[in-house]
Amino acid sequence: MRKVALLLVILSLVALPGRCELDLNPAPAPETPPRPALAPLSDAPLEEGLPFDVACGAVLLAEQDSGQVILEMNADTPRPVASVTKLMTILLTLEALDGGRVAQDDVVTVSDTAAGMGGSQVLLDAGERQTVGQLLKAMVVGSANDAAVALAEVLYGGEAACAAEMNRRAKALGMADTMFVNCTGLPAEGQHTTARDVARMSRAVFSHERYYEFSRLWMEDFDHGDGRVTQLVNTNRLIRLMDGCDGGKTGSTREAGYCISATARRGDMRLVAVVLGAGSGKERFAIARQLLEYGFANYRRYPVAAKGARIRGGLPVTGGRRDAVSLMLDGDLTLLVPRGGEGAVELIPELPERLAAPVAAGQVVGSVTVKQGGRAVARIPVVACEDVEPRGLGSGLRRLWRAWPTAG
């Protein structure tokens, strides 16, 4: 019995590759899988300068999934953006719906404050009862200030508290040059953002499928429940003017000029175009469309690597029961490349000459650097495919077993 007890102790102390302790009380799996994190927006554009002239204050064109910026102008200059601000209010509402804090059919009683909002509105009455879903639709389609404040009140108790949460969320998204004072974008001292930060905020909104239930609507009747109906007309005309455009947010005030953040999808590629400070509504739509059409015409998504893809050959292992271990990539990567420019993408492995046993399956042993046009743009981890145990572990245990005296 003493030998058995000792062997159990030894085995419990030996860390064999690939082994783990059994969790007898595992945490329950979440009901909704976590949303995949968006790749960060790139700091530099793929092209220097703009290939065409634009009459506005700032622009930026980026690809949704990779975050790669294609074109930009004055992208980091702080400026007001009017109702484009509501993208953050929309984002907080979408995240509250996804998290179960509210439901689309929850009923909201409209306050005097919300009903009294000026600017674009859906003409809510104080005391009117509307669902969260209806208010969100009014904000997305009609840019309704009264609906935005009603949602801010139900989510955070008031517009000031909502603005504080908007700033916290902006910081988490990396929007370093943004300050929100209200949830509508109506002129307010100290409220500003940049084209780059608008792109960051836009990509977060455009990653929610629920958003497109509303953003694709062109005209919709808004029933106030008392026999009165307000017709909502989408402020984003590009959803009717441009193939593939299915979302975006407009805004205009005297100080901000005419602004838009628009998105369009063709095939497997979604682009985001930000236009700030145009001279008219017609000009902002024309510039946004020109940016998007340029991106679709000149770029494509190029699948560079797939998680689990094997690397040719193996890596030598010293002191192991196997002489080599197989390797594979531990990450997916799709890049935005100029059409016909796939040859400019290089994959450069960075691996040691050999490994020492033990090696665990999934152990990071090196990486592959991805270069585009000679510039490093990504690094993909390389991991071992299987365990490699050290030689002599079993024979050592057997010798110890034989040497241990038996109970007399």
Report long-range pairs for 228-234 (Cβ below 8 Å, ≥24 apart).
228/123, 230/122, 230/123, 232/122, 232/137, 232/138, 232/141, 232/142, 233/141, 233/142, 234/141, 234/142
Write the DSSP symbol of residue 210: G
Whether the CA torsion 101, 103, 104, 106 is positive or negative: it is negative
Q: Which residue from 290, 239, 281 is spatially nearest to 260, judged by alpha carbons?
A: 281
Q: Which residue from 252, 88, 280 is spatially nearest to 186, judged by alpha carbons?
A: 252
Catalytic residues, which ones? 83, 86, 143
Q: Which residue from 23, 20, 22 is spatially nearest to 360, judged by alpha carbons?
A: 20
CB neighbour list of residue 210: distance below 8 Å, 6 or more residues apart: 94, 97, 98
- Rounded Cα distance, 232 and 225, in Å: 15
- Rounded Cα distance, 13 and 213, in Å: 56
CB 59 within 8 A of CB 50: yes
- 217, with CB counted inside 10 A (0-12, 13-18, 19+), is middle
Neighbours of 38 (CB within 10 A): 16
- 358, with CB counted inside 10 A (0-12, 13-18, 19+), is buried
Pairing of strands 58-63, 269-278: antiparallel
CB 259 within 8 A of CB 278: yes
- 219, with CB counted inside 10 A (0-12, 13-18, 19+), is exposed
At position 288, the amino acid (one-letter code) is: A
